[in-house]
């Protein structure tokens, strides 16, 4: 406490104790101040207040952690699956085991990258066989059709560093089921059956396709005809930056009938599917979800976070929304993101209950949407967005943005009135309403300073962890976040509030103001700060403000109950009253934080070695818990022996650091099948050639390119792979001299993953055909030249272009519209083009128009061309196989062979 013998007050009916250098300091205070202070510390009924001991506060923390643990356990609960053996007891139900069997067949063929036999022939045939069987057994009340689409096209995509996407002959399997009497309105359900390199793609996204097959079977056997059509899209090129969905929504004959869609995705294996994007507009979509699904999990906060670009990912939702101008719902599994896009994404990682949960949610939702009046006249119901969230997976809470504004403004007004009431009923004589609000604003400023100090402290702690070479300890064991970063997030604000709060608010003249007044002002000042934050959410149309509004509301209720039921008792009762009032927002926040951590922690293992993951994760964690604990911090001012709380938390922090430094418990990775958290390695065997302006070969290299996906790569495996001793980091000079560092980037992520290594090796044992020929140069009007090219290579090619100073790119044949720029290179614009040909590979012919000033002499453009062999027997070279065989069991790998050629023209 400030200014007392470890307790803020005692023996209220007799005297008030102040800790001063001399008791005379209390005696020299003006009489009216002494009298008013005495009155302030005693309630009007003369009830004795018993100060809260430190054990009360520590017990609150322990119970809060227990609640969080229970919520984390409940998050894993799944419904009982329906099996083939008992499906006769569940007519018209989704059968999880049948869906799982579909997935077993699909993944048994191995990885399915675009262009591979597994994706373009085997997977297509498997799906078609299942679809035809379902159609044969369909009820006569339904009309069922199917189509196999092979499509080519191009589009710009403002994702990651920005790219132009060009595709040829990618495939879609489409099934339409509807009434016998044709309807002009359709609901689209989408999955993708292709996978990334080296991954069987069980969760991403084979499981969704398996679930869709079972949904199609159940719906096709219903006796009641549908009012409109359902189109099931099994798309074959999502991992190629969403090419197949673009080909469908822009070119297929059934696309024009689509009025809404459901997209099924995954960024983890199993768990619960979360609705993380809905709309734009069309609130009836969310209302249908709320009214029908038995196991809801949704949040508009998740949508705002995802669409902000903080999370490096995207789905076909963007394609349907932006190119099809259709609104819909986007679902994804997010649990166990450690196996996402790896060899470990197998069927056994997905619990059978996950299939059942998703199927039980999707079936009633699909039937509700397709039979709704809204889907037949979507424009009539298109206006508005909703604020929504689920409460612990039990039910959905949602309201319109207009109602959200009314609620938020009402909360602001009521909260301000309560603070005004507290200010006008201050019992300290000479302390006016103006003084009270002035002190509250000071306290708000203090809270902001404390937040900054807390984040600064957390940053120092994370840098210490980095210096001690103990990074990512929380990757395999997220509990380390509690000990290393959540504990100081609780500790630092309390220490600063106690040490500096009184002096910050009143300076020396207020040394003897009662501690309970300090508590009230600290509590109301904190409330005032969040009122301002809530007002900002209203003004900026931030729908996530519902979380702030909930905290402010419950805090207001706590204040009102304190003023009435407890009659301003400032003992231990107020601590438990406040904790109880804040239990609902705490549980909801803990629930959302748990979901966020499930998603974010695995992402830190694949977001690049240059992203300072330890600091990023520590600050994210601290910031999330700051909102929760800010409403508890003022309670520390009412405790006896407050330093007992400080010392307890400090001991936890210190012991945690000692355990982290001196034991192996902080090892960041795990190969345990029951607790997988592998370190990822993406390595390409590359042959790269650099040609000068005169066409001569100026450099030629062969080597293993190690794409460092986390901050411990590649030093974590040096003792397992002796060859890494010779690895060198790609230098800044190389990146300045060569476009995209002279490396075969598969997607445009150089601003995210720029720290990579290179090991010189023998040449590739199999030649990758790759060449770029300038077929002709045509001089056109206004200093414009047309350069026509023909590129030859494998089925995955990337083309990077940069213009010399003074040269302008006017147009090209690669896509419609203005060419999309990427990041600057040496102050010059760059352009990244990704090209894939799924079938019948032929030369890739295209042209570019550049404007060249008459005075320009010398090179005009710089080109980087990469060819990627991402499947087949020559995907792995002997050097890759040797390196992968040396890696420990707590790693997982992705590898391919690639050629890179640089041209100056």
Q: Which residues are catalytic?
A: 238
Contact call for residues 97 and 109 (beta carbons, < 8 A): no
Residues 286, 387: Cα–Cα separation, whole Å: 10
Residues 484, 72: Cα–Cα separation, whole Å: 19
Residues 403, 275: Cα–Cα separation, whole Å: 22
Closest CA to 708 of 759, 661, 666: 759
How many other C-beta atoms can be found within 10 angstroms of the C-beta atom of residue 290?
18
Compute the half-sphere exposure of residue 180: CA atoms within 13 Å on the CB side of its CA.
Answer: 7
Residues 407, 422: Cα–Cα separation, whole Å: 23
Structure tokens at 633: 């911090």
Q: β-pairing, 229-235 with 163-179? A: antiparallel
Q: β-pairing, 327-333 with 258-266? A: parallel
DSSP E strand stretches across 314-463: 327-333, 386-391, 395-400
> Backbone phi, then psi, for 647, in 5-degree steps?
-65, -35
Paired with 690 in beta bridges are 699, 902
* DSSP-derived secondary structure letter, 889: T
Residues in the chain: 905
**Cis bond before residue 280 (omega within 30° of 0):** yes
On the 0-12 / 13-18 / 19+ scale of CB atoms within 10 A, 114 is buried
Contact call for residues 585 and 62 (beta carbons, < 8 A): no
Q: How do the residues of the chain divide into helix, strand and coil, expressed in percent and rounded to 5?
A: 45, 20, 35
Contact call for residues 620 and 566 (beta carbons, < 8 A): no
At residue 376, the 3 state secondary structure works out as: helix
Residues 514, 33: Cα–Cα separation, whole Å: 10
Between the CA of residue 497 and those of 378, 460, 624, what are the distances in Å?
Answer: 54, 20, 20
Closest CA to 685 of 863, 884, 888, 892: 884
**Cis bond before residue 184 (omega within 30° of 0):** no
* DSSP-derived secondary structure letter, 873: T
How many other C-beta atoms can be found within 10 angstroms of the C-beta atom of residue 590?
22
> Backbone phi, then psi, for 55, in 5-degree steps?
-65, -30
* DSSP-derived secondary structure letter, 724: G
Greatest alpha-carbon pair distance for the chain in Å reads 101
Closest CA to 348 of 407, 274, 269, 283: 269
Contact call for residues 723 and 759 (beta carbons, < 8 A): yes
On the 0-12 / 13-18 / 19+ scale of CB atoms within 10 A, 662 is exposed
Phi-psi region of 851 (alpha: psi -120 to 50; beta: other; left: phi over 0): beta
How many helices and strands in the chain, by DSSP H and E? 25, 21
DSSP string, 793-839: -SSEEEEEEEEPTT-EEEEESSSSSSPPP---BTTB-EEEEEEEE-S
Structure tokens at 624: 């999330």
Residues 789, 167: Cα–Cα separation, whole Å: 17
Residues 220, 216: Cα–Cα separation, whole Å: 6
């Amino acid at each position: 406490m400030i200014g007392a013998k470890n307790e803020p007050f005692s023996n209220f009916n007799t005297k008030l104790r102040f800790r001063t250098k001399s008791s005379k300091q209390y005696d020299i205070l003006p009489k009216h101040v002494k009298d008013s202070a005495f009155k302030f510390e005693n309630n009007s009924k003369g009830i004795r207040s018993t100060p809260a001991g430190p054990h009360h506060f520590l017990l609150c923390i322990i119970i809060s952690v227990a609640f969080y643990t229970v919520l984390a356990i409940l998050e894993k609960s799944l419904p009982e699956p329906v099996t083939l053996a008992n499906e006769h007891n569940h007519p018209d139900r989704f059968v999880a085991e049948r869906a799982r069997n579909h997935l077993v067949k699909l993944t048994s063929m191995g990885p399915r990258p675009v262009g591979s036999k597994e994706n373009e022939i085997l997977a297509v045939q498997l799906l078609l066989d299942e679809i035809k069987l379902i159609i044969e057994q369909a009820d006569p009340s339904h009309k069922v059709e199917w189509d196999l689409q092979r499509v080519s096209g191009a589009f710009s995509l403002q994702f990651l560093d920005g790219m132009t996407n060009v595709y040829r002959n990618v495939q879609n399997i489409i099934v339409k089921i509807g009434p016998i009497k044709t309807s002009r309105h359709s609901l689209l359900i989408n999955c993708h059956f292709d996978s990334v390199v080296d991954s069987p793609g069980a969760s991403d996204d084979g499981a969704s396709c398996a679930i869709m097959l079972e949904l199609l079977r159940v719906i096709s056997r219903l006796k009641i005809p549908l009012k409109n059509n359902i189109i099931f899209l099994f798309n074959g090129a999502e991992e190629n930056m969403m090419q197949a969905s673009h080909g469908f929504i822009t070119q297929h004959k059934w696309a024009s009938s689509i009025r809404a869609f459901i997209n099924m995705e995954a960024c983890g294996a199993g768990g619960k599917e979360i609705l993380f994007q809905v709309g734009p507009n069309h609130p009836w979509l969310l209302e249908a979800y709320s009214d029908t699904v038995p196991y809801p999990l949704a949040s508009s906060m998740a949508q705002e976070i995802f669409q902000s670009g903080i999370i490096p990912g995207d789905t076909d939702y963007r394609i349907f929304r932006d190119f099809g101008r259709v609104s819909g719902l986007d679902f994804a599994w997010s649990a166990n993101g450690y196996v996402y896009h790896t060899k470990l994404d197998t069927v056994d990682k997905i619990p059978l209950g996950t299939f059942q949960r998703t199927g039980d949610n999707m079936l009633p939702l699909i039937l509700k949407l397709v039979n709704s009046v809204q889907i037949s006249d979507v424009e009539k119901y298109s206006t508005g967005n909703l604020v929504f969230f689920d409460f612990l997976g039990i039910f959905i809470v949602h309201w319109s943005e207009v109602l959200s504004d009314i609620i938020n403004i009402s909360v602001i007004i009521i909260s301000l009135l309560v603070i005004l009431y507290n200010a006008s009923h201050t019992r300290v004589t000479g302390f006016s309403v103006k003084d009270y609000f002035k002190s509250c604003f000071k306290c708000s400023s203090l809270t902001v300073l404390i937040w900054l100090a807390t984040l600064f402290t957390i940053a120092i702690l994370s840098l210490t962890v980095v210096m001690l070479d103990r990074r990512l300890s929380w990757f395999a064991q997220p509990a380390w976040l509690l000990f290393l970063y959540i504990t100081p997030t609780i500790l630092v604000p309390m220490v600063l509030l106690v040490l500096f709060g009184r002096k910050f608010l009143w300076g020396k003249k207020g040394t003897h103001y009662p501690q309970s007044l300090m508590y009230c002002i600290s509590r109301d000042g904190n409330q005032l700060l969040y009122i301002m934050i809530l007002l900002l959410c209203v003004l900026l149309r931030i729908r996530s403000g519902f979380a702030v509004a909930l905290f402010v509301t419950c805090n207001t209720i706590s204040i009102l109950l304190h003023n009435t039921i407890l009659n301003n008792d400032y003992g231990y009762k107020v601590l438990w009253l406040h904790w109880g009032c804040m239990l609902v927002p705490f549980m909801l926040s803990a629930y959302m934080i748990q979901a966020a951590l499930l998603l974010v922690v695995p992402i830190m293992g694949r977001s690049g070695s240059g992203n300072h993951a330890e600091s990023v994760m520590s600050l994210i964690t601290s910031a999330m818990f700051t909102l929760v604990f800010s409403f508890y911090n003022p309670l520390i001012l009412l405790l006896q022996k407050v330093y007992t709380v400080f010392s307890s938390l400090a001991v936890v922090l210190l012991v945690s650091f000692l355990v982290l430094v001196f034991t192996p418990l902080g090892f960041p990775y795990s190969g345990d099948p029951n607790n997988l958290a592998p370190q990822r390695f993406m390595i390409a065997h590359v042959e790269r050639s650099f040609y000068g302006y005169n066409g001569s070969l100026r450099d030629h290299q062969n080597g293993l390119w190690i794409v460092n996906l986390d901050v411990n790569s590649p030093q974590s495996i040096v003792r397992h792979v002796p060859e890494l001793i010779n690895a060198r980091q790609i230098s800044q000079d190389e990146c300045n001299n060569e476009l995209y560092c002279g490396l075969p980037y598969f997607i445009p992520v150089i601003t995210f993953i720029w720290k990579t290594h290179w090991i010189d090796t023998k040449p590739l044992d199999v030649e990758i055909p790759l060449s770029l020929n300038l077929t002709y140069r045509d001089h056109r009007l206004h200093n414009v030249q047309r350069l026509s090219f023909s590129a030859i290579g494998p089925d995955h090619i990337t083309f990077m272009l940069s213009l010399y100073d003074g040269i302008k790119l006017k147009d090209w044949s690669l896509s419609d519209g203005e060419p999309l720029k990427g990041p600057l290179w040496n102050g010059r614009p760059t352009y990244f083009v990704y090209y894939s040909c799924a079938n019948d590979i032929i030369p890739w012919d295209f042209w570019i128009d550049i404007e060249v000033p008459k005075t320009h002499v010398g090179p005009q453009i710089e080109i980087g061309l990469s060819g990627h062999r991402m499947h087949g027997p020559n995907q792995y070279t002997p050097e890759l196989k040797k390196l992968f065989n040396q890696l420990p069991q707590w790693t997982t790998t992705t590898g391919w062979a690639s050629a890179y050629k640089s041209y100056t023209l």
